């Protein structure tokens, strides 16, 4: 038998998941306050992909706000950053 019981292991994993989700929320909030046109097209593509995968615990309004911000980066800015 391992050092942790199954119940203890589930508790530790649950706490770790909560910490990761909290950090993700902080990162998304920081991104929401930034000008996304400063990001390279590759980074914006990664962010768009990540927004499709965020857990349900992240507020939908925040995710939508970031999607709108990504979609409204002018094409000429996107080309200039590349």
pLDDT in tens, 13-69: 999 999 999 999 999 999 999 889 888 889 999 999 999 999 888 999 999 999 999
Domain-embedded: residue 44:
yes
- Number of domains the chain contains: 1
Domain-embedded: residue 25:
yes
Domain-embedded: residue 1:
no
- Continuous H helices in 6-59: 6-32, 41-51
pTM: predicted TM-score of the whole model, two decimal places: 0.72
For residues 26 and 67, the answer to whether their CB atoms sit within 8 Å is no
Residue 71: domain span: 6-81
Domain-embedded: residue 26:
yes
- The SS3 call for residue 81 is helix
Rounded distance between C-alpha atoms, residue 65 and residue 35, angstroms? 12
């Amino acid at each position: 038998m391992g050092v942790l019981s199954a119940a203890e292991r589930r508790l530790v994993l649950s706490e770790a998941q909560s910490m990761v989700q909290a950090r993700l929320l902080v990162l998304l909030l920081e991104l929401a306050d930034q000008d996304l046109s400063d990001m390279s097209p590759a980074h914006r593509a990664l962010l768009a992909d990540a927004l499709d995968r965020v857990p349900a615990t992240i507020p939908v309004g925040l995710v939508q706000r970031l999607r709108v911000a990504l979609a409204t980066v002018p094409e000429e800015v996107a080309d200039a950053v590349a």
